Chain A
Amino acid sequence: MAEKFDAIVVGAGPGGNAAAYTMAKAGLQVLQLERGESPGTKNVQGAILYSDALERIIPDFRKDAPLERHIIEQRMWILDDDSFIGTNYRSDAFNNEQPNRYTILRAPFDKWFSGKVKEAGGLVICETTVTDLLKDGERVVGVRTDRAGGDIYADVVILADGVNSLLAKKAGFHGEIEAKNVALAVKEIHFLPQEVLESRFNIKGDEGVVIEIAGAVTKGMIGTGFLYTNKESITIGIGCLLSDFKKGQIAPYTLLEELKAHPSIQPLLQGSEMKEYAAHLIPEGGYKAIPTLYGDGWMLAGDSAGLVNAVHREGSNLAMTSGRLAAETIIALKAEGKPCNAANLARYKNALDHSFVMKDLKKYKELPEILHHNPHFFDLYPKLLNRAAHTMLTVDGEDKHSKEKAIRGSFMQQRSLWGLMGDAYRMWRATR
């Protein structure tokens, strides 16, 4: 394979597929390399697909993409040891418009997306691990793979190789990820007969429910859990900052077991059959942890660029958008006859800055640091809120005024007035 490509894309996740598809569709000679047996076999996500990012790439994706359920109901549960307090939003309007969110299974979904790359004329080669970037001085000129004679050349290489971003690290483009900037999530998929699942979650047809979970179940660690309904299965998982796991309170899979055994969750999984266990890192360092995104002959997209909005549980849409913007930058440079050097690829960063990707990450840039220093958002407040609800909902002859006073007292005792006001102020500052 001595020929030279316009672009090489490393990885066939949402970022890589968006980039490869966009360039192939525009007529560029694109090679995409994937280390899995087929696209998707190495990839892990919750997973929620946000339609908009994909619609901008494949407008009619709903025609044949493997989608599980569209979300009509979102629950947010704040857990204590044997209770939860929460909110629900459910609307039938989500049935009457083009759905904005779907649950998906990444293995079939990524395979579908990769099929679109091939249809558009891209060359996709699987079972091939890229081991190094080939450089001419400082300029990236191609990749080395683990296949015999595996050197391949291109004008530009898009690294969409996932959160570990080993290739950019080896090339010296950025350092090792810090444990405080990454969450470790574990999850399982549980199968149930479709009619059981639908009656359990009060849904029909393709309707789906999402439950986001916080509180006691993370044992004071910064993290959240989730439960998503698929067509015939439930995905349940939990993730916390790796720096918190390292403190050694509990193994990730034991934490997952405890989530599954919670009295509010266990009945939802009753009688199901577990068919896969997965673990994955999620870059959650936010804006301040984003590495340099481009250089001479190379660009980063998706998780390898750290583009995840942890606050809103968004990642694959940022990956697809960054992949598309990287591709559009290359397409424009090709059309203008300009080289893919650092000066010209700066357009990519500029495009990201003007998109929701960087705007949203910038909005929450202080939040990771604040959460690191305020773990009571993940242990104390959930407990206090649950106890407050319990107090108010227990009719025991005590008057309501006294109950309210007791609840106020419990907050003041645990966190003091200044502590409470400080927390509210810091939260407001970090999310406004």
Chain B
Amino acid sequence: MSRIEEKLFQNRYRVDEGRSHIQIINPAVCADDCKTQSCTFVCPAGCYATDEQGGVVLTTDGCLECGTCRIICTDHRNVQWEYPRGGHGILFKFG
């Protein structure tokens, strides 16, 4: 079981449809200014991916709410990070 999607499939989530709790503040910064795009390989849920235009796309459905992406985006501070609304997001069965 090596694909991240297969791991996340085991988890329980209550997704807050249409209300992503994390936002990329300015997508152009990811595409044009960020050389490392480290969020695309450090996020433990694989929420960040590179797109064909050299930018970064974010899908928060599988987010584990760890905070990694916010902390590693030190050069550009381009991640707006909040906790999901109460009761939404990851719901650990075992923790």
A residues sitting closer than 8 Å to B (CB atoms) are 35-37, 40-45, 47, 105-110, 126-129, 131, 145-147, 163-164, 166, 176-179, 182, 184, 186, 188-189, 233, 242, 245-246, 248, 250-254, 257, 274-281
Q: Is the CB of B91 within 8 A of A280?
A: no
Q: Is the CB of B94 within 8 A of A242?
A: no
Q: Is the CB of B42 within 8 A of A245?
A: yes
Complex Cα distance A126/B94, Å? 18
CB distance from B21 to the nearest CB of A (A): 9
Excluding A129-B83, A253-B7, 10 further A-B contacts by CB distance (< 8 Å) are A37-B14, A127-B86, A127-B87, A178-B74, A186-B44, A252-B44, A275-B94, A276-B10, A279-B44, A280-B64
Complex Cα distance A422/B73, Å? 35
CB distance from B82 to the nearest CB of A (A): 7
Q: Is the CB of B7 within 8 A of A41?
A: no
Any A CB within 8 A of the CB of B45: yes
Q: Is the CB of B82 within 8 A of A166?
A: yes
Q: Is the CB of B86 within 8 A of A42?
A: no
Complex Cα distance A258/B7, Å? 15
Q: Is the CB of B71 within 8 A of A242?
A: yes
Q: Closest chain A residue to B62 by CB distance?
A: A277
Complex Cα distance A40/B90, Å? 11
Complex Cα distance A47/B95, Å? 9
Q: Is the CB of B86 within 8 A of A126?
A: yes
CB distance from A10 to the nearest CB of B (A): 11
Q: Is the CB of B94 within 8 A of A252?
A: no
Q: Is the CB of B95 within 8 A of A246?
A: no
Complex Cα distance A47/B1, Å? 23
Contact A40 to B42, CB < 8 A, known contacts A127-B87, A184-B66: no
Question: Residues of A contacting B59 with CB < 8 Å?
Answer: none
Q: Is the CB of A279 within 8 A of B45?
A: yes
Question: Residues of B contacting A189 with CB < 8 Å?
Answer: 94
Contact A107 to B92, CB < 8 A, known contacts A36-B87, A126-B87: yes
Question: Residues of A contacting B87 with CB < 8 Å?
Answer: 35-37, 126-127
Complex Cα distance A166/B77, Å? 15
Complex Cα distance A242/B70, Å? 11
Any A CB within 8 A of the CB of B68: yes
Some 17 contacts from A to B, beta carbons below 8 A apart, are A40-B92, A42-B92, A106-B95, A126-B87, A129-B85, A166-B81, A177-B67, A178-B74, A179-B74, A182-B71, A242-B72, A245-B72, A246-B38, A253-B4, A254-B2, A257-B1, A280-B66
Any A CB within 8 A of the CB of B8: yes
Any A CB within 8 A of the CB of B36: yes
Contact A248 to B41, CB < 8 A, known contacts A277-B10, A280-B66: yes
Q: How many residues of B contact A (CB 8 A)?
A: 38
Question: Residues of B contacting A246 with CB < 8 Å?
Answer: 36, 38, 42, 72
Which residue of A44, A248, A253 contacts B92 across the interface (Cβ within 8 Å)? A44
Complex Cα distance A128/B88, Å? 10
Find residues 44-75 in chain B having any chain A CB closer than 8 Å to their own CB.
44-46, 64-68, 70-72, 74
Any A CB within 8 A of the CB of B26: no
Complex Cα distance A391/B50, Å? 47
Of the listed residues B7, B11, B74, B94, the one surrounded by the most CB atoms of chain A closer than 10 A to its CB is B94
Q: Is the CB of A146 within 8 A of B86?
A: yes
Question: Residues of B contacting A188 with CB < 8 Å?
Answer: 7
Any A CB within 8 A of the CB of B84: yes
Q: Is the CB of B42 within 8 A of A36?
A: no
CB distance from A115 to the nearest CB of B (A): 16
Q: Is the CB of A184 within 8 A of B44?
A: yes
Q: Is the CB of B94 within 8 A of A276?
A: yes
Complex Cα distance A250/B71, Å? 18
Q: Closest chain B residue to A45 by CB distance?
A: B95
Of the listed residues A35, A40, A188, A257, the one surrounded by the most CB atoms of chain B closer than 10 A to its CB is A35
Question: Residues of A contacting B4 with CB < 8 Å?
Answer: 251, 253
Q: Is the CB of B11 within 8 A of A276?
A: yes
Of the listed residues A45, A105, A242, the one surrounded by the most CB atoms of chain B closer than 10 A to its CB is A242
Closest 7 A/B residue pairs (Cβ): A106-B95, A127-B87, A279-B44, A277-B7, A127-B86, A107-B95, A164-B67
Q: Is the CB of A242 within 8 A of B42?
A: yes
